[in-house]
């Protein structure tokens, strides 16, 4: 009676990132356009802050392009060799995005330190309008990504990056105003420091989420003890153990458990009934379409104890 009985509804081919692919494409086109505009503005005005903001936006464009590629490859069907398909590609893309953010932050910080000992000559007449254009573009991108930020790691990563870009553009605008009104040219350098400091915590937050997925940690907000209590409360169930909950990629949680069934329910019809009850119970307390239950009699625990000894 130690067979695997389970309801598996399969892993759909549309991931959380795939659902928002059009949003990501729109943001990519906006971002890469603004990067070109801001690089030109930085070269013409001599502003490191504007160049830092352009560099940050370039990392965003790269991150979004990686996410778009990952969404495409994640839609490929599962095979006998890769039974979960390529859905983890989205997580690897988010990892690459986080690392890229860290690199950009370090480069900006180092360049800002180098410029502290000099007196930059910044043309604020050019710097200010380019910064405003960048800020408006970031605001539009933020609105585009807002709906999908809670569903996908990659969309969330892009959303956080654009939010940081918006704050970075605001810092550039403020530094331009300070230089125009006071003549303090180092305001540009301090704005660059601020942009680097804004990037770092967002990169760490995204990296931590990616590591949780790769280590197959229990999804945030999921109480394993509570789910076990609900399973045990199902009529016909006396115990549950070896409960595992993890995430393949954003929006694709997976659940498995060994469930001890009472003796009077150890018939084909009884097991089917218990399995249907378990599936309904789990779907009402944990949002997943892919769950596996091993239904077993109490005596099977002895065999499992021997296997794990």
- 110-123 pLDDT per residue, tens: 878 887 877 767 77
Mean pLDDT (whole number) for 53-74: 75
Q: Determine the average pLDDT of the residues in 210-231.
A: 83
Looking at every residue in the chain, the average pLDDT score rounds to 78
SS3 223: coil
Give the whole-number percent of the chain exceeding pLDDT 90.
0
Angle between helix 48-74 and helix 187-214 axes, rounded to 10 deg: 20
Average of per-residue pLDDT across 214-220: 81
Which pLDDT score, from 0 to 100, does residue 3 have? 44
pLDDT at 155: 74
pLDDT of residue 306: 44
Q: How far apart are CA 63 and CA 98, in angstroms?
A: 8
Choose the most confident range, by mean pLDDT, from 84-98, 120-134, 150-164: 120-134
Instruction: Name the more confident of 14 and 138.
Output: 138
Structure tokens of 231? 């399973």
Q: Which residues contact 14 (CB under 8 A, 6 or more apart)?
A: 75
> Looking at 195-199, 211-215, 282-286, which range is the least confident one?
282-286
Q: Tell me which DSSP letter residue 13 carries.
A: S
pLDDT value at position 86? Answer: 73
Task: Classify each residue of 264-292 as buried b or exposed e, where b means 16 or more C-beta atoms within 10 Å of its C-beta.
Answer: ebbeeebbeebbebbbebbeeebebebbe
159, 149 contact by CB (below 8 A): yes
- What mean pLDDT is predicted for residues 5-10? 44
Question: What mean pLDDT is predicted for residues 281-303?
Answer: 74
What average pLDDT does range 76-102 have in this prediction? 77
Look up residue 200 and give its two tokens. 């770092």
- Arithmetic mean of pLDDT, 43-58: 81
271 in Cβ contact with 247 (< 8 Å): no
Lowest-pLDDT choice from 11-20, 114-123, 191-200, 238-247: 11-20
Strand pairing category for 252-261 and 237-249: antiparallel
User: What is this structure's pTM?
Assistant: 0.66
pLDDT higher than threshold 60 for residue 293: yes
**Residue 153 pLDDT:** 67
Q: Write out pLDDT tens, residues 22-42.
A: 878 888 899 899 889 888 888
Q: Which distant-in-sequence residues (6+ apart) come within 8 Å of 302 by Cβ? A: none
Residue 68 has pLDDT above 80, yes or no: no
- How does residue 7 score in pLDDT terms, banded at 50, 70 and 90? very low
Distance in angstroms between the alpha carbons of the first and the last residue of the chain: 21
pLDDT in tens, 245-289: 888 776 678 888 898 988 888 888 888 888 888 888 777 767 666
Sheet containing strand 237-249, strands side by side: 237-249, 252-261, 291-296
């Amino acid at each position: 009676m130690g067979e695997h009985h389970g309801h598996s509804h399969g892993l759909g081919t549309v991931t959380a990132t795939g659902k928002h692919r059009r949003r990501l494409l729109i943001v990519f086109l906006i971002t890469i356009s603004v990067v070109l505009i801001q690089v030109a503005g930085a070269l013409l005005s001599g502003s490191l802050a504007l160049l830092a903001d352009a560099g940050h936006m370039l990392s965003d464009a790269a991150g979004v392009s990686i996410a778009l590629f990952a969404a495409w490859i994640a839609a490929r069907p599962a095979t006998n060799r890769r039974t979960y398909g390529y859905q983890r590609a989205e997580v690897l893309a988010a990892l690459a995005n986080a690392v890229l953010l860290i690199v950009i932050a370090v480069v900006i910080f180092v360049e800002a330190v180098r410029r502290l000992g000099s007196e930059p000559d910044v043309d604020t007449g050019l710097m200010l309008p380019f910064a405003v254009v960048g800020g408006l573009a970031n605001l539009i991108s933020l609105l585009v990504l807002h709906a999908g930020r809670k569903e996908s790691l990659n969309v969330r990563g892009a959303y956080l990056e654009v939010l940081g870009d918006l704050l970075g553009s605001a810092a550039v605008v403020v530094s331009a105003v300070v230089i125009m009104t006071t003549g303090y040219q180092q305001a540009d350098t301090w704005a660059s420091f601020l942009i680097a400091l804004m990037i770092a915590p967002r990169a760490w937050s995204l990296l931590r989420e990616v590591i949780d997925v790769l280590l197959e940690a229990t999804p945030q907000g999921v109480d394993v003890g509570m789910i076990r209590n609900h399973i045990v409360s199902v009529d016909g169930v006396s115990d549950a153990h070896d409960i595992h909950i993890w995430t393949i990629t954003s929006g694709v949680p997976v659940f498995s458990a060994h469930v001890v069934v009472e003796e009077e329910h150890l018939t084909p019809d009884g097991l089917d009934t218990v399995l249907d009850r378990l599936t309904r119970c789990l779907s009402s307390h944990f949002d997943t379409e892919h769950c596996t239950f091993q239904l077993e009699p109490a005596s099977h625990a002895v065999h499992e104890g021997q296997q794990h000894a």
